[in-house]
Structure 1
């Protein structure tokens, strides 16, 4: 069963911090993210969870299909 979810910043940043972000597209078919959440995450790219090889220099939009509300 493919689920659709609306996410705020906390679950995305938490999964990035523990290097488990890849779970989101495995669990959900569509992930809706309000533009403010996207902007908050993009603005935080200088923080440590973005420094891993998996995400350094990448846009959050390019990691999985995102829908803006």
Structure 2
């Protein structure tokens, strides 16, 4: 199964150090490049987790795969 996520679920799971649950449950986690970029700003708690998250797939913001 594949899950598409925005910033909030990733951010909140990272804060409680449970971000690794997403790929364990869903296999692949798809996030738009814009979400990844937002998570990399400042001292975001998800920054290091997202960079190393197994099963993470980035889609360019201009990609219209969800239409």
Task: Answer whether TM exceeds 0.5 for this pair.
Answer: yes
In structure 2, runs of 5+ residues without a counterpart are 60-67
| Alignment match, 1:26 | 24
Q: How many residues align?
A: 59
Is 1:35–2:33 an aligned residue pair? yes
Which residue is equivalent to 1:5?
3
**TM norm structure 2:** 0.71
Q: RMSD of the TM alignment (CA)? A: 2.0
Shift of 1:7: 0.5
4+ runs of 1 displaced by more than 6 Å? none
Structure 2 equivalent of residue 65 of structure 1: 55
**Structure 1: unaligned runs, 5 residues or longer:** none
